[in-house]
Structures are given as C-alpha cells and as structure tokens.
A and B are shown apart, each in its own frame.
Chain A
Amino acid sequence: MDGYNAYDGIDGDEAGPKVTIREMDRTTIKFNLTNTSLAFANSIRRVMLAEVPTIAIDLVEIESNTSVLADEFLAHRLGLIPLSTKGIEDMVDPRECDCDPICDRCTVVLRLSVVNRSSDQHVKVFARDLFVESVGGANYNRANGVHGTSSEDMPPLGTPILMDRDKQGPLICQLRRGQELKVKCLAKRGIAKEHAKWAPTAAIGFEYDPWNKLRHTTLWYETDPKAEWPEPEKNGQWEEPPTGDERFNYEAEPETFYIDLEGTGVMPPDQIMHSGIQVLQNKLASIIRDLDSDNQGQTNGYDGGFSPPMNGGQSAYGGNTAYGAGTAYGQDPGYQTPGFGGAGATSVYGSATPYGRQPYP
C-alpha cells in the first residue's frame, strides 16, 4: 500500500497541486488549478455548482396581494432574490431542526409591505423593500478566521444583496393606484441540487487543454481547422501552442484547469471555493464514519444491498461472518464482475449464480 502517492507528489513544497490566481473581484475569481486530475477538478466544480449551502426564500405567506401578479408567481420571484449568506455555516438545515414550525436557528423572516395609495405612477417594489424581521441572534455575526476576511464585508444573514448602482436590488413587481402587497417570507438554508435558487454561483468556467493537444474534442471544419477556429485567447496564453510537427502523445493527461468562478454576490467567491471543498470533505468524512461503523462489526451494512432486499436473514455473504472464510464467494477468488458473469438467459441473481446460493424469490 505504501510507496504510492495519491497526487504525484515528489518533494517539498513544490509537490502536489498548485493554485495561481489570475483575477479576483467582488463576485469573481479566475484561477488556474495545476497538478490535479480531471476527476478531482471536476468534483470541485460540481460541488461548488450544486452543493454549497446558501439561503433563499422558501416559504411565502401572502397576507394581501392585489397586484397584477398571481401569488405563486410572486412567490417564485421572491425565491430567486439573492440573500446574504454571512454566517450560513451556523444556520441549521430546516429539515434537521427540531423546532416546531420555525425558529431563529433555521429560518430568517423577511417582510414586505408596500401600498400604492394615491399615485398615478406605478410604485416599483424592489428587493431592498424586504426587511429582515429576525436574524437568529448575534452569534451569526461572529468573526470567523477560517473563511478569510472577505465575508466580513457582507451584510447580515438573509439581507437582500443589492449590487446595482442605486442599491435597489431586483424588481419584484409594480403596483397601480390602490394595489397592495403584504407578504411574510421565510428564508431557509438549502443547496442548488434541490432548487437553483440556492446556487451560490452564476457560472463556473472550466477549461483544460486550450490548444486541444489531448484531442478530447474534435474541431469541426470545412477545409482547415487552424484557419477557421480562433486561437484560445486567454487560457491559451498559459500553455505552449502546438508546433505542428510533434507527435500525438496519447498518454498525456490534463493537469492544468482554468477555472472562472463567478458568484451571484450572495457569497464571496473565495468562500464558495472553501465551502465547496468543505462539502466534499464532509461527504468523505461521512463515508469514513460509515466504514468505521462497519468494521466495528455492526451488521447493518451487510443486510444485502437495497431494493429488493435479500430474502430472510441470509447475509449477503452467505456465511456467518461478514467477510470471513465461510462466504459463498470465497472459493472463487478469481471471479470477475458479478453483474455480467452469467451468460444471457440466467439472471445475475438467479439460481445459476456462482455466489447467490439463495436466489431471489
């Protein structure tokens, strides 16, 4: 097991992955990630896109809506309004909170109350008109050294993010004379896998091999791809262009990734990266925990896969111990992929399988 290194480390500080930051501003970081695998870089990309927890309006209680927009239409618009995630790590997931309907630990209440009493001009309702009624205590505003200083500039948790020049935020609706909008919004923590409104990112640019030396893509052309396709303007500058007479290196693998991480303003871009890595590590940690509980001899991991369950109390291994000598499988160590072992007619779980002595009912 020893003598190999998971990330081609050679020696000292120069070994392993490298990060070079190209540009950075309030919402965006552009950086190069070098000396990692495509698999890992893609994991980071996916996790930042879909699994970083943020806060968004999730439930809307409409007290009065005489505007032209339907209730559900309004509720949808409200959900998409970006809210500050400052201190989101201290917020409890609403499904894991044991409060009855809501509490300060899992919910931020925002109120919106606008009436056009007498104006012939439309009254425009903006995100800035949403007011946070409760932020779960002062502990949300505590400084956290781990995630850097940049999130300190953010407004308190649940406050609408106003990025435009006039600090109005997105337009929610317009009210004619006599129309009223009175709404109570419950903002909750969630991830973009459930609904895109929880996405911390507007987009993530992900590029590798700008000169297509690895030939992972085929350039369409009429007569000459070199003449018809533009040069890779930005990221191409970081790598040597092909000379044209070199041989195709079929063993080469992508190792530099050009990532343009573009946030929505809900979370500083560097924190998106940190949270993303943290989410990924939490995934690993929870599996390691499951693995540990397995190895401690608890049998709950062995009761035979998922649907349909193995019949009776028969262990998946057929024997008494988890993976001891008495398994049905033990006599045939050279056996390959179980799923495709049986030829055609016999099911994998049928009576003819080499391991499942107890076939499915």
Chain B
Amino acid sequence: MSNDAEMTDAQGGAEANGAEEFVHEKQRLKILPGSSDTAASFAFEKEDHTLGNALRYIIMKNPDVEFCGYSIPHPSEAVMNVRIQTWDGVSVWDVLRKALDDLCDLCDVVEEKFTKARDEFNAEHPDRMKKKGMTKNKLATTRTIQQHRRYHEQGELAHMKFWKLI
C-alpha cells in the first residue's frame, strides 16, 4: 500500500517538473507475438518509409543478419513493421540497437559534412552570388570536388568520342 502511494507521488512530481516528454510519450516500439531472441518482428508506431527503408538498409549491412525486411501492413494505420533474423544466436536487440546508433552516426557525419561544405561555399562567395555551376578555380578546395572535375573532364572527352561513333 505504502509503495503504491509513493509511486503516485513520484509520477505527479515528475509531471510538475516538466518532464513531459517522458510522461506523455507512449511506448512506440512493440514486439510482435511469436518473436524469439534471434528472429523477431517489431512494430514501430507512427513511423513510415522515412525510417523504415533506411533502418532496413542499415540492418542488412550487418553481417550477423540473415534477413531484414520492413512493411507497412495497412496504409491507414500509422504502423511500420520490421522483421529481423540473425545468424549464430546474435540478439536481435543488439542488432536493432546497433543499427539505430549507426544511423544516428551517419546523420551526424552528413550534417557535419554539409555544414563544412556550406561554410566553405560561403567563404568562397562572400556576396552569395548566384552562379551557374562553379568556376574551376573555386572548385579546387577538396579532393572530392577535384575528383568530380576529373570525372567531368574525362566525361566530356568520352562523351564526344561516343557521339562521333554514332
């Protein structure tokens, strides 16, 4: 009895402290019936292809995974299912967790690269002039861009040859 009373108090206090995210947000991840430690189906509420396909892709990158697929069972229900089957008794929980962490890291890397590219572009275009493509001098900053230009030049040559053949 006393334990029950304590719990009620704690919940009320948490709400008042403004920990709304934890109080309000429901458990959005569920495991479907018939799942085991190495072959499980998860139901993600309020998720769709945005997360589904990327997650599926990153899970499949894991060599411990035998199979991964996702589906949206019904278009009018905001539920996405992911099926994971692993080799050698590897836990699907670990696999899912690693995939989520990796996807998060991937986001970080893209964000970082994007910010860097944006700052470089801004430094090169102080007036933020609208340009049709970039001039050659301004391109020579990173190896990425140089490589692209190489493709570009080779591409044009190859392309010209190609058209002459026809």
> How long is the Cα–Cα vector from A338 to B33 in the complex, in angstroms?
9
Stretch with Cβ within 8 A of B (4 or more), from A74-82, A116-124, A171-179, A303-311? A303-311
Q: What's the minimum C-beta distance from A244 to chain B, rounded to whole angstroms? A: 6
Is B134 in contact with A22, judged by CB distance below 8 angstroms? yes
The answer for the CA separation of A173 and B52 in the assembled complex, in Å, is 43
Inter-chain contact B103/A21, CB cutoff 8 Å: no
B98 neighbours in A (Cβ, 8 Å) = 1
Instruction: Give how many B residues have a beta carbon under 8 Å from the other chain's beta carbons.
Output: 90
Q: What is the distance, in angstroms, from B16's C-beta to the closest C-beta of chain A?
A: 10
Give the one of B31, B32, B45, B98 with max A CB within 10 A: B31
Q: With both chains docked as a complex, state the minimum distance between the C-beta of B43 and any C-beta of chain A, in angstroms.
A: 6
* Partner among A7, A14, A36, A47 whose Cβ is within 8 Å of the Cβ of B50: A47
Instruction: Determine if B9 is an interface residue (Cβ-Cβ < 8 Å).
Output: no
Are A329 and B34 in contact, with the CB atoms below 8 A? yes
Contact A287 B29 (CB under 8 A): yes
* Cβ contact of A300, chosen from B27, B103, B108, cutoff 8 A: B27
Contact B104 A281 (CB under 8 A): yes
Contact in complex: A40, B38 (CB < 8 Å): no
Kindly state the interface size class of chain A when it binds its partner.
35 or more
Q: How does the 8 Å CB contact mask read for A326-345 relative to B, with 1 for contact and 0 for none?
A: 01111001011110000000
Our pick among A46, A287, A336 for the contact of B100 (Cβ within 8 Å) is: A287
Q: Decide yes or no whether B5 CB sits under 8 A from chain A.
A: no
Known: A4-B63, A284-B104, A356-B34. A244 touches B162 (CB 8 A): yes
Chain B residues whose C-beta falls within 8 Å of the C-beta of A356 in the assembled complex:
33-34
Whether B109 lies near A17 (C-beta < 8 A) is yes
On chain B, the residues within 8 Å of A219 by CB distance are none
Q: Is A104 an interface residue (CB 8 A)?
A: no
Question: Smallest CB–CB gap between A264 and chain B, Å?
Answer: 18
Interchain CB contact (< 8 A) of A23 among B38, B117, B130: B130
Q: Is the CB of B36 within 8 A of A286?
A: no
Specify which chain A residues have a CB less than 8 angstroms from the CB of B50 in the assembled complex.
Answer: 43, 46-47, 50-51, 280, 283
- Contact assessment for A36 and B106 in the assembled complex, using a CB-CB cutoff below 8 Å: yes
Contacts of A11 in B (CB 8 A): none
Given contacts A22-B134, A284-B103, contact A148 B34 (CB under 8 A): no
Q: Does A34 contact B (CB under 8 A)?
A: yes
A-side residues, CB < 8 A to B, are 1, 3-4, 6-7, 14, 16-26, 29, 31-34, 36-37, 39-40, 42-44, 46-47, 50-51, 96, 98, 148, 226, 237-244, 270, 273-274, 277, 280-281, 283-288, 290-291, 293-295, 300-306, 310, 316-317, 323, 327-330, 333, 335-338, 349, 353, 355-356
Besides the known contacts A323-B35, A330-B36, A338-B32, 8 further A-B residue pairs in the complex with CB atoms under 8 A apart = A6-B61, A26-B128, A31-B114, A148-B115, A148-B119, A277-B107, A280-B103, A284-B103
Some 22 contacts from A to B, beta carbons below 8 A apart, are A1-B94, A6-B103, A18-B144, A20-B142, A23-B130, A39-B53, A42-B53, A43-B54, A46-B49, A148-B115, A243-B162, A280-B50, A283-B47, A287-B29, A287-B44, A288-B97, A291-B29, A291-B93, A306-B45, A323-B37, A330-B36, A355-B33
